[in-house]
Amino acid sequence: MTLPITRAEVLELDAADELAGLRERFALPEGVVYLDGNSLGPPLASTAERLQRAVGAEWGGELVRGWNTCGWIDLPARVAARIAPLIGAGDDEVAVADSTSVNLFKLLAAAVAMRPGRPVILSEEENFPTDLYMAQGLAELLVDRARLEAVPRERLWESLDRQVAVLMLTHVDFRSGELHDMQALTRAAHEAGALALWDLAHSAGAVPVDVNHCRADFAVGCGYKYLNGGPGAPAFAYVARRHHRGLRTPLTGWMGHREPFAFTGAYEPAPGCARLLVGTPPILSLIALDEALELFSGVDVAALRRKSVALTELFIALVERRLADHGFRLASPREADRRGSQVSLAHPEGFAVMQALIARGVIGDFRAPDLLRFGFAPAYTRFVDVWDAVETLQQVMSTAEWERPELRIRPRVT
């Protein structure tokens, strides 16, 4: 792509965008440039209506009968089947339940149980904190049977030894947006006799993933980021079919029982992934996620990726052209094929700069210590949003607007 010189040229890119129609389906506020879909995706316009119906006619009208008459009991499996093609899994290889953190706990425990005598959960120091915390918690519970080893990224390969039960990594780094080579690392884990568990929180819905092709053993991911399921939407868990028979979950709830309504005293797992359900599924949240996933039916993930790369390339090029003198450093890989759907810029005043941007309606986020993070969800981000974001950033920097004292107050969620 040759770099556009004017805003009008950027509008032409939007006019030619084969995915432009997807944006129309979102309820995005006027005057906002939303670049934080990697933290919380926006609602579809139809989600509010669907939830209204769920609360009114379904819950209100059917009451407890709704579990059968409205198909609530089958909803986790139906939603799982919508997520499966986005990550290259079979319908029966995905479960939708709980949060990403809780799913990690279940799958790490299952992985460790599949590799007796190998206590190590291998990860990288820079992994998302909850992934490391959950592994630490499991290790405490299992005492000598499990421990977390979190090493620098460049030491991952040499650390794959005979002690490792499972390699646990996040496909797209949440700070830098750097992509791991999922296929090569999974192969390396297998050659060392270990299993591979991938966190797809920043991949599903924006970056093509093929868990089966890579022969990944396990994966988890989020429903509320690029999948747009709403705040705290249920998460997903993938288990390769070859592991279904030996899958032992430590959270043996009744919804993962073979026959929850037999009310027998002894736990018997449901077939395959369905045993990963624990308690009663959050139906209203699942309905919102189900509605959101309808967006992806018939959409080619490769087309999403092409647009995502074009958006991030444009952003980087414009930042380098227009903000060269303002102390930013590109904290994401420059090569598009090593980058997810976000771009991070490091700046010593990153927090205040991001607050100033947000005050002007350009919403990204900040990650300590100094990263401004911009997510470019290809389903609804326009090329003109990229242009306007850089224009606004340029104004914030040239007027030193970020120095205003009220922009230094840190809220609980950054």
Residue of 185, 222, 393, 397 that binds ligand PLP (CB under 6 A): 222
Determine contact, residues 100/201, Cβ cutoff 8 Å. Answer: yes
Instruction: Give the one residue of 72, 105, 128, 238 binding ligand PLP; rule: CB under 6 A.
Output: 128
Nearer to ligand PLP, 202 or 307 (CB): 202
Q: Which is nearer to ligand PLP, 376 or 387 (CB)?
A: 376
Nearer to ligand PLP, 58 or 131 (CB): 131
Q: Where are the alpha helices (DSSP H) in 16-99?
A: 20-23, 45-53, 66-69, 75-87
Site for ligand PLP (CB under 6 A): how many residues?
A: 13
- Residue 201 binds to ligand PLP (criterion: CB under 6 A): yes
The CA distance from 204 to 100, in Å, is 13
To the query of whether residue 34 is one of the catalytic residues in this protein, the response is no
Quick one: which of 123, 159, 170, 381 contacts ligand PLP (CB under 6 A)?
Answer: 170
Query: Which 339-378 positions form the footprint of ligand PLP (CB under 6 A)?
Result: none
Binding ligand PLP by CB under 6 A: which of 81, 90, 91, 101?
A: 101
Spatial contact of 269 and 249, defined as CB atoms under 8 Å apart = yes
Which residue number, 219 or 283, has a Cβ lying nearer to ligand PLP?
Answer: 219
Taking the C-alpha atoms of residue 309 and residue 324, their distance in angstroms, rounded to an integer, is 22
Residue 17 or 365: the one with the smaller Cβ distance to ligand PLP is: 365
CB-hemisphere CA count at 13 Å for 51? 15
Residue 202 lies near ligand PLP (rule: CB under 6 A) = yes
According to the binding rule CB under 6 A, does residue 100 interact with ligand PLP? yes
Burial class (CB in 10 A: 0-12, 13-18, 19+), 114: middle
Under rule CB under 6 A, which residues in 231-250 are in contact with ligand PLP?
235
Which residues, 6+ apart, have CB-to-CB distance to 109 below 8 Å? 138, 142, 248, 249, 250
Contact indicator for 373, 38 with CB cutoff of 8 Å? yes
Residue choice 114, 126, 130, 142 for contact with ligand PLP (CB under 6 A): 130
Smallest distance from the beta carbon of 63 to ligand PLP, in angstroms?
30
Query: How many Å separate Cα 401 from the centre of its chain?
Result: 32
Fill in the DSSP letter of residue 9.
H
Q: CA torsion, points 179, 118, 99, 176, in degrees to nearest 10?
A: -20
> Does 199 qualify as catalytic in the annotation?
yes
Residue of 34, 174, 296, 315 interacting with ligand PLP (CB under 6 A): 174
Q: How far is the CB of 226 from ligand PLP (least distance, A)?
A: 11
Q: What is the dihedral of CA 272, 273, 278, 282, to 10 degrees?
A: -130
Residues that bind ligand PLP (CB under 6 A): 99-101, 128, 130-131, 170, 174, 199, 201-202, 222, 235
